[in-house]
A and B are shown apart, each in its own frame.
Chain A
């Protein structure tokens, strides 16, 4: 039996440890497509989080009623219903925003984050934990989108949330608001976050080796290090 993790941990793990964008590499299509401006990024992240939280809650509540063979189809129908709600509300309340996001609001249905969390988490855990997990993943998605769209909007159109933040003397980097810029920023972001994790792991490993040497433990094999979890 696996050790139960605390409820706070269910939430915070989504922020960095299993960040849906940078670590699980799920939901890349909207990340690349809507991050031209920060406003679009916020709208997309909120819409996705809404769908993620409510579909996780519902799936977790009915998880014992759904036969195993048809579970994926059932999940998709649940998700599609919530996406329809978001799509219609956005069209009615924020027509401009809805137009600039184009087909990407309806496409939340096939966002792998939602189906991924439903299959990996909500179908096996109680509603409270599932909602916390969904909120954590939604927040992680939000952070990643903010960073991506922040970089692209500041460098590509000199502004943040529509306000000019760089002097007019700064020549905007046109590539940042083009599709190519999305790929480049995303690739670099993922690479640097990997680099940060790798470096931290190396430091922990060296600290452990030093500690073993101090207590006079001569043999430091890879297996010993693996058991210590570094």
Chain B
């Protein structure tokens, strides 16, 4: 039950993009087409779950026992950068089609604040191992959901008559605001 609440909270109620403002850069940058939004969402979810596992192990098995908590920020970011690099190499070896589909999005994930944010939030709330994983999955699902909905809206928006100065990022932000309002409807769920 506890785990279900964490999942729903991360995916819908406190959506990473629309209520924590994590991962806004890819949200604005990659939400042009539904197909690339899905690829980006999948790649990010994959890295989010791996990060949740690795950062929990790092924090609770290395940093805490040796009283090195102050190294949290540099060690997390290094682990994430290494992880992304490793995932990229692994996918390239194992599945060429998947690598071609995710290719350009993978390096971008390192600087996606949702990843570091997830690791920091999980350790801040002192989640257990299983809770961290569920939190990671929930965050990934929420990120993908927001990205895909946004991409769908933007495909329609291309046909709309938007004032010239508002085309691109400004109108995307305004639409995101309306989307955030809609997501507030989930607030009563937990």
| B171 in contact with A191 (CB, 8 Å) | yes
In the complex, per-residue mask of A207-221: 1 if CB is within 8 Å of any chain B CB, else 0: 000000000000000
Complex contacts, A195 vs chain B, CB 8 Å: 163, 165-166
| B19 in contact with A179 (CB, 8 Å) | yes
| B177 in contact with A184 (CB, 8 Å) | yes
A115 at interface, CB cutoff 8 A: yes
| B166 in contact with A182 (CB, 8 Å) | no
Interface of A (DSSP majority class): helix
Give 19 CB contacts A-B under 8 Å.
A25-B28, A28-B21, A32-B24, A76-B78, A77-B78, A80-B78, A103-B120, A103-B121, A106-B116, A110-B111, A110-B116, A112-B111, A179-B180, A182-B21, A183-B173, A191-B166, A191-B171, A191-B174, A195-B166
Instruction: Count B interface residues, CB 8 Å.
Output: 42
By a beta-carbon cutoff of 8 Å, the part of chain B in contact with chain A is 18-25, 28, 70-74, 77-78, 81, 111-113, 115-117, 120-121, 124, 163-166, 169-174, 176-178, 180-181, 184
Q: Apart from A180-B178, A180-B181, A183-B177, what are 17 other A-B pairs with CB-CB below 8 Å? A: A28-B24, A28-B25, A29-B23, A32-B24, A76-B78, A80-B77, A84-B70, A84-B72, A84-B74, A102-B124, A109-B77, A110-B112, A179-B18, A182-B21, A182-B177, A187-B170, A187-B172
* CB-CB under 8 A for A191 and B22, given A80-B77, A106-B116: no
Q: Min CB distance, B124 to chain A, in Å?
A: 7
Q: Min CB distance, B36 to chain A, in Å?
A: 18
| B25 in contact with A187 (CB, 8 Å) | no
For the complex, give the distance between the alpha carbons of A109 and B117 in Å: 11
Q: Which A residue's beta carbon lies closest to that of B82?
A: A73
Complex contacts, A25 vs chain B, CB 8 Å: 28, 169
Instruction: Count A interface residues, CB 8 Å.
Output: 43
